[in-house]
Structure 1
Amino acid sequence: MTRRGYPSDVDDDTYLFLLPYLLLSPKDAAQRKYPIRDVLNALLWVARTGAQWAYLPHDFPPAETVRQQAHRWFEAGCWFEAGCFENAAHDLRLLSRVEKSRSGDPTAIIIDSRTLQSTPESGHRAGFDGAKKRKGIKVHLAVDTLGHFLAVLTTPANEQDRAQVKDLCPEVQKATGAKVEVAYADQGYTGQQTALEATEAGVELIVVKRPEATKGFILLPKRWAVERSFAWLSRFRRLGRDLERLPSTLVGFHVLAACILLCNNLRPLFA
């Protein structure tokens, strides 16, 4: 029986592009009971709607099957010792940059963080963000100047942004082949120790400061690209709060969302 499609389903061209990254075993393996495309569409439905696994519609494969396969995709180590969707996002970023007449790997990045409200599932690893007055998890994101995903990590919300530079910059260099030279950040990343940790990774940290005596949102040079990327990611309702028991699952959903956004931008090239 052929089911009706959901708005979150991948089209034929996107599926054919992603398929080689998702094949952890042969497509026609004897133990495979459900088509990969159906499992992928079910995962995207969860990411887009933010629904609980148990509420997955019955015309998808069983929720436990989709959840287990999602964890395999998120955690599988392949060519770059990364998850399947991270590998796909890496190649999609290269295609997008070349299509825009840029070099394949960026030399400048923007880093920032946002705080996600915790839930009962994630409360055991949450912290209190004094600036946002919110208990939750911080998502630290690095993007290039076009807003393309490069690296992401999570910490309790009480941890300082500047303390994550020592982990975020090496991840970016690993993803780009150590091509990054400059990182733009907000005033939460000030400090000599932070600049030194960035320098050890081969990156010059430049803090873009707000104009004095200003309130509310201010569009700052360079830094607006990462704010836009957070806005794009927030269209996936699964990322509206921290609904995951494991931090690796939260990271995986962010990478999945970034991958799908890149696929949508490059859809004319797939045709």
Structure 2
Amino acid sequence: MRKTRAAARRDPEPSAGIIDAQPVRCRPQAGRRGVEAGQKTHGRKRHVRVDTMGLLLVVWITTGDIQDRDGAQTLLQHAQRRFPRLSWFWADGGDAGQWVDGVKQTLCWTLQIIKRTDNAKGFVVLPRRWVVERSLAWLTRSRRLSRDSEGRGQTSATWCYIASIRLMLRRLNPISDPL
């Protein structure tokens, strides 16, 4: 990731990011699952944190019945250990709540909730949020990640990192893409 950021003339260590959660359907053989309340999806959730370029920083896999804000708390703890320079991030309305103030006090991070306006109809591009949505779309283009069939959540997270590595390698050398 650091080489990809440096090639784009960015600081190798990210200082800002965007978080989101994506429900993913699971096959019946795929270990622990739950029902995601919003979309009625029976499966798991991918909680991801990407940098401002859309590169995957951290992914955390939970059962589908975990709220976005609960998964985001664990995700942020992992991100804090791996990327100490991070200090700013954006999230959607599903991550709003009392824990936002706790993040500001305990982690000394700035968190901005980006909400959709009430009068908006259909698809609306939200500032900074489109980056994480695009990254999730890139991940689901990988056949192995379109539906979760792994027995363990950690295996599913590993496949997310592998797909992300492929995307970063393509940015570094676009001609050598084997597919």
How far is the alpha carbon of 1:137 from its aligned partner?
0.2
SS at match of 1:113: strand
What SS does the aligned partner of 1:172 have?
Answer: helix
For 1:239, give the aligned amino acid: L
Inter-CA distance 172–198: structure 2 relative to 1 (3 Å threshold): farther
Deviations 1:10-57 (A, max 9, x none): xxxxxxxxxxxxxxxxxxxxxxxxxxxxxxxxxxxxxxxxxxxxxxxx
* Count of matched residue positions in the alignment of Structure 1 and Structure 2: 176
Q: Structure 1 residue 104: deviation in Å?
A: 1.0
Cα distance per residue 1:115-145 (max 9 Å; x no partner): 01111122x4111112101111000000001
Q: Which blocks of at least 5 consecutive residues in structure 2 are unaligned? A: none
Q: What is the Cα deviation at residue 215 of structure 1?
A: 2.7
CA distance in 1, matches of 2:148, 2:24: 6
Q: From 68, 77, 90, give the equivalent of 1:184.
A: 90
Structure with more strand by fraction? 2
Give the C-alpha shift of residue 163 in structure 1.
0.9
2:62 corresponds, among 140, 151, 155, to 155
Structure 1 position 195, deviation (Å): 3.5
What's the Cα RMSD here?
Answer: 1.7
For residue 195 of structure 1, what is the aligned residue in structure 2?
101
Match in the other structure for 1:58 = none
Tell me the CA shift for residue 197 of structure 1. Answer: 3.5
TM-score w.r.t. the length of structure 1 is 0.62
Distance in 1, matches of 2:103 and 2:88, equals: 13
Report deviation, 1:191.
Answer: 0.8
Match of 1:61 in 2: none
* Counterpart AA for 1:148: L
Q: Deviations over 1:75-112 (max 9, x none)?
A: xxxxxxxxxxxxxxxxxx11111112211111110000
Q: Are residues 1:131 and 2:38 paired?
A: yes
| CA distance 1:268–1:213, change in 2 (3 Å) | closer
> Please, which of 113, 128, 137 is the counterpart of residue 207 of structure 1?
113
CA contact (8 A) 2:47 2:72 kept: no
Match of 1:98 in 2: 6
Partner of residue 81, structure 2: 174
- Residues in 2 aligned to 1:114 and 1:204: alpha-carbon distance in whole angstroms: 23
Q: Is the 8 A contact 1:195 1:204 kept in 2?
A: no
Please state which structure has a larger fraction of its residues in helix: 1
Gapped regions of structure 1 (runs ≥ 5):
1-92
Separation of aligned partners in 2, 1:173 and 1:186: 20
Does structure 1 residue 262 correspond to structure 2 residue 173?
no
